[in-house]
Amino acid sequence: MLGLGRMAAAAAAVVVLGAWNALGGWAVSTVENPPAALQSGVSYRIEFAVRQHGLNMLSGLHPRVRLLDAAGGGSAEAIAEVAASETGEGRYAASIQVHGADSVRLVIATGFGRGRQTELTLMPVPVLSPGASAPKLSAAEQGHRLFIAKGCGTCHVNGDVPEWAEWNEAGKVGPELTGRRLEAQYVRQRLTDPRSLPAIGAGNVRMPNLGLAESEVAALVALLSGPRETATN
């Protein structure tokens, strides 16, 4: 029989192993170039990255991109599905094309993780005739869409972006953002230079630097900032 000390050590090892396996089973998908609109019959190259724990680029996957007719709601069947190829460490791309739909939802299916964690579902994208202009959105509306496309909800619950929980697995690694209005410069620094600020949230998981374009940073700042609350950590 094992002594009490060895039994305790064995039990602790099981707990640690279980926690490690759970930690290893999730990743953050971020779309590098989420389309504001798609043109019917015109090919669009969508690019995305997959980061294990939000930080480490995850290579060797075989993702697929599904296009759902947005008019079909949550039960919509795929109107197209294409394989994505790896273009760099943890980076993937696929060429998509839409026919016969007024708007579509794109689903990035990485195959990594469990259940809904394996997929990232974007907000509906309008499908226009070739040459037509995409609809104009305010900065906050663009931020709303980017919050989903950049995978922010994988770590942050945000009831102000309800589509995330409707279509995607809600995460609780980082602080909840529902109803919060954070100081603009703080949000900007978190997005552009996260390691310059103290770690927040559960465990040792840190906010990743996603390499956002200035327009994307401005849109997310517009979504999350405001006069009601100033962040200090």
CATH number of the domain at 176, please: 1.10.760.10
From CA 122, how far away is CA 159, in angstroms rounded? 16
143 and 93 in a common domain: no
pLDDT for the residue numbered 202: 59
| Residue 17 lies inside a defined structural domain of this protein | no
Reported pTM: 0.83
pLDDT for the residue numbered 69: 93
Number of folded domains in the chain?
A: 2
Q: Band the pLDDT of 117: cuts 50, 70, 90.
A: confident
Q: Point out the domain boundary residue: 108, 128, 148.
A: 128
120 and 171 in a common domain: no
Q: Point out the domain boundary residue: 128, 162, 183.
A: 128
Structural domain containing residue 211: 139-224
Residue percentage of the chain with pLDDT more than 70: 82
CB 62 within 8 A of CB 94: no
| Residue 1 lies inside a defined structural domain of this protein | no
pLDDT at 6 over 70: no
Q: Band the pLDDT of 19: cuts 50, 70, 90.
A: very low
116 and 42 in a common domain: yes
167 and 108 in a common domain: no
CB 118 within 8 A of CB 78: no
161 and 188 in a common domain: yes
- Model confidence pLDDT, tens digit, residues 88-102: 999 999 999 999 899
Q: What is the Cα 138 distance to its own chain's centre? A: 21
Instruction: Write the Ramachandran bin of 42: left for phi over 0, alpha for psi from -120 to 50, otherwise beta.
Output: beta
The residue among 142, 144, 141, 69 whose CA lies nearest residue 107 is 69
The residue among 47, 166, 182 whose CA lies nearest residue 174 is 182
From CA 146, how far away is CA 220, in angstroms rounded? 7
16-25, 98-107, 132-141: the lowest-pLDDT one = 16-25
pLDDT for the residue numbered 131: 85
Q: Point out the domain boundary residue: 128, 153, 185.
A: 128
Q: Which of 17-21, 137-141, 215-219 is predicted most confidently? A: 215-219
109 and 32 in a common domain: yes
The residue among 183, 154, 182, 185 whose CA lies nearest residue 170 is 154
The residue among 144, 135, 138, 142 whose CA lies nearest residue 162 is 144
The more confident residue out of 67 and 1 is 67
